[in-house]
Amino acid sequence: MKYFLYLSIFLSIAADPAIALAQSSQSGRDQSLKRVIDTCVLRIDYLFVRAVDTVSGQRYRDHRRLEVGSRYTRDYSLFADRSDSLAFEAYRKNADAGVDLYGWLRPEERGFCEDYYMDYPRKGLLTASLCIVNTEYRYSEPIPRIDWKLHADSTRRILGYACQLATAEFRGRRWSVWFTPEIPLSRGPWKLGGLPGLILQACDEAGLFGFEATGVELGRNHPIHIYDEKAQPSGRGSGMQIRQTTRDRVRMLQSLFWKDPVALNEMHGVVSAIRDASGRTVIQKRGAVQRPYIPPLELE
């Protein structure tokens, strides 16, 4: 079954007309492995915009959701979540048929399969799960302490909430965020948080990344899920393998998206190929493909 994640997305926007292929037998994250860890009492939807690279000026748009429970919070992509469900259902019906995971999205929309859990599996820890090729990599780290500078004289209203400006350097990027003390929750999108109020808007100084809240509502007892790495997949070959790793390892793999995507594929047992001008399929070798620099959220 073909499963296209953002490796193949970035390959497919190459300037030449060659078609990049990244094939895998996986079918996305196995929906049967979802385990409830908390109940959502508040949820915030964000529009997430990130740069494709530092050359084209092109941006991808994702819709993300922050679910706040009594113990944990989960930040994840609604687009990626739906794509996982589509892939899982298609695999159940016909394991060999394949599915176009992104056909329902607009050209500028992408679902970035990155989940972030605060205070999980225990208080003070952040757990991140990122899907790369056919593997879901998971690591934990202490919840980052960000040294924010508050700007009491800079205010605005977002979604009807009174907000205040704060700025900080965080892992190599300078962030400006707008938070609201009217929702006294020290959380926000991605790994941003630690302020006396919920972050409703954030952007980095270079303009490569931006989050903007589009809605805030009560959770209505919606379950907060995590994919259980200890459970058994529902069928042979279904689902992505979950692998424990470190943040440094994930950052190294992410750098291969542009440095050497063919090598990244090979590391995951996936063959990379293009169709040449005559229509022949040509297997690519390591080092044969390099993309413009793809900026990561974290530089250090």
- Encode the chain (300 residues) as per-residue pLDDT tens digits: 333 333 333 333 332 222 233 333 345 788 888 999 999 999 999 999 999 999 999 999 999 999 999 999 999 999 998 888 877 776 666 655 556 666 778 888 888 999 999 999 999 999 999 999 889 999 999 999 999 999 999 999 999 999 999 999 999 999 999 999 999 999 999 999 999 999 999 999 999 999 999 999 988 889 999 998 877 665 545 567 889 999 999 999 999 999 999 999 999 888 888 787 888 888 888 988 888 999 999 999
Coil, helix or strand for 88? helix
Q: 203 - beta bridge partners?
A: 176, 210
Q: Which helix (H) or strand (E) holds 203?
A: strand 198-204
Assess contact for 229 and 215: CB atoms under 8 A. no
User: For strand 241-244 and strand 135-142, is the pairing parallel, antiparallel, or unpaired?
Assistant: parallel
Phi, psi values for residue 89, rounded to 5° = -65, -40
Sheet with 114-118, strands from edge to edge, namely 149-158, 161-170, 173-180, 198-204, 209-227, 34-51, 59-69, 73-77, 114-118, 125-132, 135-142, 241-244
CA quadruple 224, 228, 233, 237: dihedral sign: positive
Question: Tokens representing 225?
Answer: 């899920």
Residues 26, 212: Cα–Cα separation, whole Å: 33
Query: What is residue 216's predicted lDDT score, i.e. its pLDDT?
Result: 97
Q: How far is CA 154 from CA 169, 192, 207, 296, in A?
A: 18, 19, 20, 29
Query: What is residue 238's predicted lDDT score, i.e. its pLDDT?
Result: 53
Q: Give CA 42 to chain center in angstroms.
A: 21
Assess contact for 294 and 257: CB atoms under 8 A. yes
Residue that is written with structure tokens 């470190």 in the block:
246
Q: 98 - beta bridge partners?
A: none
Task: Tell me the CB-side half-sphere exposure of residue 237, using CA atoms within 13 A.
Answer: 12
Closest listed residue to residue 288, CA positions, set 24, 16, 2, 57: 16
Residues 234, 141: Cα–Cα separation, whole Å: 30
Residue that is written with structure tokens 């707008």 in the block:
178
Sheet with 281-283, strands from edge to edge, namely 20-22, 272-275, 281-283
108 residue type, one letter: E
Strand extents, DSSP E, 14-55: 20-22, 34-51
Closest listed residue to residue 189, CA positions, set 36, 49, 26, 21: 49
